[in-house]
Amino acid sequence: MSHPLNAVQHEAVRYLDGPCLVLAGAGSGKTRVITQKIAYLLKECGYSARHVVALTFTNKAALEMQERVHKQVSADLTKGLMISTFHSLGVRMLREEALHIGLKPQFSILDSQDALAIIQDIVATTDKGRLRNIQQTISLWKNQLVGADAAARLVKTENEREAATVFASYSATLTAYQAVDFDDLIMLPALLLRTNDDVREKWQNRVRYLLVDEYQDTNVCQYELVRQLTGARAMFTAVGDDDQAIYAWRGATIENLAKLQTDYDSLRLIKLEQNYRSSQTILAAANQVIGHNPKAFNKKLWSEHGTGEAISVTAFDDDAQESQSVAMRISAARFEKQSHWRDFAILYRGNHQARIFEQTLRQLNIPYTLSGGQSFFDKTEVRDVMSYLRLIANDNDDPAFIRAVTTPRRGVGQSTLHALGTYAGGRQISLMAATFEEGVSVHIPDRQLEPLRTFATYIQRLQWRAEHEKGEQAGLLLDDLLKTIGYEAYLFDANDERAAQARWQNVLDLRDWLKKKATDADMSLLDLVQHIALVTMLERNEDETPDAVKLSTLHAAKGLEFPHVFLVGVEEGLLPHQGREEDESLDLDVAAQQKIQRIEEERRLMYVGITRAQRSLHLTWCKKRKRAREELVREVSRFVKEMGLNEPNIEVDTHATLSPKDRLGMLKALLQPKK
């Protein structure tokens, strides 16, 4: 942004007399306020960088903040400055304070897939939906600072009762493995600060000023972490927007914004209402929609960008027509407006809606990028094979050991790993190292210990080869590994033939890529593993703005902006999303309240979608939409009616699915000057 700070932004940056809540509407320059405040603290207020911490929710947001701060402040003043995610701060705290909570400093961090595998072993089912529901319930409890014992006392439904039982076993398993999951990275530090006076004082002295971005997305756990870190001094700035709170499903609570007012009597509330992104027409529609929600804080976005283009609403017979028309309109608008492909975004409620738009864009040779798609290196079969390679490269990698020793099955169950983990934790060594110690035989019977040692010995043999063999020989090692562990047979035993073939092909693609890389660059397998780690990191931090149309869910689009936005599938059942069927065991009043809250969150999601648009906004919906083999009749979303648009803006497109000739004709028509 080239404009100077407006009066309200300037107040937010300069206020240092106590706790401060900056209520920042969409496109109001909140990131600029945060980075300018950091610069102000370091350059003009005498704060040492090591005493300033800024927290956000994504690595991308943290990186953007770092880059902006470094443009404003010299390197010598930023040394020790911490701008990170909540989870990165949690990791740092746990590494330093591990012994206070019974962990070794090099504890393992399990990702969601590894954690799900443990839950699957406990429940002994292949029902993925059931397993993910249990995992999500446990996650929500942890986000609310509820442990396994407390959860068992709070259960209200049969599903919760099962989840509480699994929670107890799951927690014991993590302890035995000397491991934590993603939620623990915040819950454990929050509990530690609450209960340990010395540790709390130490971190309060370290964090003299705290800035928190996207405060409306914090959960109970994160709120407690902030409260304990800032203590009685309460020197912090929280930046958030209650109208963009869209993560209740993963534990975020919008009440945290209002709670600040009750917990901190001296809280200064500053509202950023000037929008620097969108036209007044777009903002008026956004204000109208969100006005139907109850308000914790009153604010109204406004802009100096003028009225702008009218918002269009178009109805289609089905999603084939919808995708064809949207693609053609984008193609025409790009030509007409002399724009780039990256100026256009197609936003939708659910990932499943992307498929037909991908097909249509490919047919028309329109480049696109897809947000939220699964990385090749995140596929289960690729991660399985990579766990072996990770362990070969680093035998202290406990999550890799757990995954590799149990995939495929080789007679090592959870009880054996539980005993091994308990022993390793007591000795403060890795699971791999514990396998070979004589003392472990006291805890694990010989018949259970034998497959463990056979596996570990095999890994050691591969480690020697990986260190000494390069190029083509390293490639042969991969062939030997896949053959020895019988991974192909394992896939075909565990999946139907079609799925197994697809997964095995991914494994072969990984193998061939690694073999080629090893041969071309004369790399060892150890070099290759390090190379893959770098590749995956780069993959997740690659340029987000290639010249391509952006396909994205509304959740993934938060924080982004585009000159032209097509918000598709704006119909009842999709936006607002129908949601899960209510648990029959719930009280009727509770169920009704949950439904109201769900609609309010969906309305905030609509608000987020509208406010991604800078210059033009196009809404589309379908009169009929297929679900499985059933064709459902749809109605336009209630949110469209709430936008307060004039009826003449609502169009109906009843074209049949377009042939190539029709497409050309439509494109020509779209390019004709408007009368």
Q: Which of 31, 56, 216, 463 is catalytic?
A: 31
DSSP 3-state of 625: strand
Q: Which of 9, 30, 66, 571 is catalytic?
A: 30
Whether the upstream peptide bond of residue 576 has omega within 30° of 0, thus cis, is yes
Cα pseudo-dihedral 393, 398, 402, 405, rounded to 10 = 40
Q: Give CA separation, 530 vs 333, 432, 469, 526, in Å.
A: 45, 20, 16, 7
Q: Which of 97, 114, 181, 214 is catalytic?
A: 214
Q: Which of 78, 137, 230, 244 is catalytic?
A: 244
- Burial string for 658-669 (b: 16+ CB within 10 Å, else e) reads beeeebeebbee
Distance CA 344, CA 242 (A): 27
DSSP state letter for 541: T
- 397 token code pair: 């990698």
Containing 563, the helix (H) or strand (E) segment is strand 562-567
DSSP state letter for 124: T
Q: Is 31 a catalytic residue?
A: yes
CB atoms within 10 A of CB 117: 18
Q: Is 244 a catalytic residue?
A: yes
| Tokens 């480049």, located at residue | 367
Which of 262, 246, 187, 247 has its CA nearest to residue 221? 187
Distance CA 85, CA 87 (A): 5
| Tokens 């080789």, located at residue | 410
Distance CA 111, CA 119 (A): 13
Antiparallel, parallel or unpaired: β 236-240 and 209-212: parallel
Q: Residue length, the chain? A: 675
Q: Is 337 a catalytic residue?
A: no
CB 656 within 8 A of CB 348: no
Q: Is 30 a catalytic residue?
A: yes
Containing 345, the helix (H) or strand (E) segment is strand 344-348
Q: Which of 470, 517, 598, 612 is catalytic?
A: 612
- 23 token code pair: 């209520």
Q: Which of 114, 160, 184, 213 is catalytic?
A: 213
Q: Which residues are catalytic?
A: 30-31, 213-214, 244, 612
